[in-house]
């Protein structure tokens, strides 16, 4: 019981940190290309992770852990940041945030496939209702110009769910912050090359808000958030704690409205209320 409670508490802190990711990305891609933003945040976080691993004398992962770590890197180091960065050139941060409501279902599915978890049937009912609410919102809000952004967000969610589930399984052996640090280091060579090839042509054209956005997604979204998130998933269960992501749209919408002054439609609020209620039901039957 104590492990489960600690897992949900740690997972909640991770969700709070991740809630600022899409608004920060939206600000950053105004002046930085999605490719540079994705690679630069990975390089910065990898260097910090390497420092932590060195200072705390962590042993290297086993050879059998390299493939799972590569899956984590593809999902959360490359896939989700790049695809969301591209999506946010077509849609607002507020619009994209609601798609995060699909992430718990994706994480739960990959938790079953990769982590061997078996939630109760009622869990799937609440999780599906939450996901259907998000999908309905997206269909209601989308027009021809937003379809590309919606499809990119769906692809990002699938890759992120896979990376979350794989990382949570590894965290049971390696530890949460160690998993994301090793995954970042594994991705460092290609990410550094991409960063060098995609540097802004005009540094003077990059404003202070973009640099702040880059700093946030590099330090908090790419590293610190995972320290709490992977620990939460490992202690409390991938499928169960993963449902906390249904709360992320609520926090993200508040940030988008306060920091970016983006309009928050009543449909966004209604959708968020429904998915928040689904968290309680999913938690009960996880």
State how far Cα 105 lies from the chain centre.
13
Backbone conformation region of residue 261, classed left if phi is above 0, alpha if psi is from -120 to 50, else beta: left
Distances (CA, A) of 278 to 123, 124, 236, 282: 9, 10, 18, 6
pLDDT given for residue 198 in this prediction:
93
| 128 in Cβ contact with 136 (< 8 Å) | no
pLDDT given for residue 176 in this prediction:
79
Q: What is the per-residue DSSP string for 67-107?
A: HHHHHHIIIIIIIHHHHHHHHTTTS-HHHHHHGGGGHHHHH
Measured distance CA(143)–CA(258) in Å, rounded: 25
Measured distance CA(22)–CA(17) in Å, rounded: 11
pLDDT given for residue 35 in this prediction:
92
| 107 in Cβ contact with 161 (< 8 Å) | yes
DSSP H helical segments within 207-265, as ranges?
A: 208-216, 225-236, 238-242, 248-259
List of residues 6+ apart from 17 with CB closer than 8 A: 220, 221, 224, 225, 228, 229
pLDDT given for residue 220 in this prediction:
94
Cβ neighbours of 107 (radius 10 Å): 27
Measured distance CA(85)–CA(26) in Å, rounded: 7
**Chain segment 171-208, per-residue pLDDT in tens:** 888 887 899 999 999 999 999 999 999 999 888 889 99
pLDDT given for residue 250 in this prediction:
75
Q: 10-residue block means of pLDDT along the chain (286 residues)?
A: 76 89 87 92 95 90 92 93 87 76 79 72 79 70 66 91 88 86 95 94 90 94 89 81 77 77 73 73 65
| 18 in Cβ contact with 221 (< 8 Å) | yes
The pTM of this model reads 0.81
């Amino acid at each position: 019981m104590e492990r489960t409670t600690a897992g949900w508490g740690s997972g909640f802190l991770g969700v709070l940190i991740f809630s600022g990711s899409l608004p920060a990305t939206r600000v950053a891609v105004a002046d930085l290309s999605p490719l540079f933003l994705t690679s630069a945040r990975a390089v910065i976080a990898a260097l910090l992770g390497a420092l932590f691993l060195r200072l705390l004398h962590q042993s290297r992962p086993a050879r059998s852990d390299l493939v799972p770590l590569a899956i984590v890197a593809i999902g959360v180091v490359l896939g989700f940041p790049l695809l969301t960065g591209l999506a946010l050139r077509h849609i607002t941060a507020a619009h994209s945030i609601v798609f995060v409501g699909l992430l718990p279902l994706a994480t739960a599915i990959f938790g079953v496939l990769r982590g061997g978890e078996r939630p109760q049937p009622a869990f799937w009912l609440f999780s599906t209702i939450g996901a259907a609410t998000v999908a309905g919102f997206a269909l209601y809000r989308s027009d021809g110009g937003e379809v590309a952004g919606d499809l990119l967000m769906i692809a990002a969610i699938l890759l992120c769910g896979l990376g979350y589930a794989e990382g949570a399984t590894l965290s049971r052996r390696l530890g949460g912050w160690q998993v994301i640090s090793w995954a970042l280091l594994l991705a460092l060579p290609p990410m550094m090359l991409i960063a060098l090839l995609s540097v802004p042509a005009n540094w003077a054209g990059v404003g202070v808000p973009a640099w702040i956005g880059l700093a946030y997604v590099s330090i908090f979204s790419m590293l610190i958030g995972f320290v709490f998130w992977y620990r939460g998933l490992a202690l409390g269960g991938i499928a169960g704690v993963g449902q906390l992501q249904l709360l992320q749209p609520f926090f993200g919408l508040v940030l988008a409205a306060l920091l970016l002054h983006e309009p928050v439609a009543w449909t966004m609020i209604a959708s968020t209320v429904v998915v928040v209620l689904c968290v309680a039901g999913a938690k009960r039957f996880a």
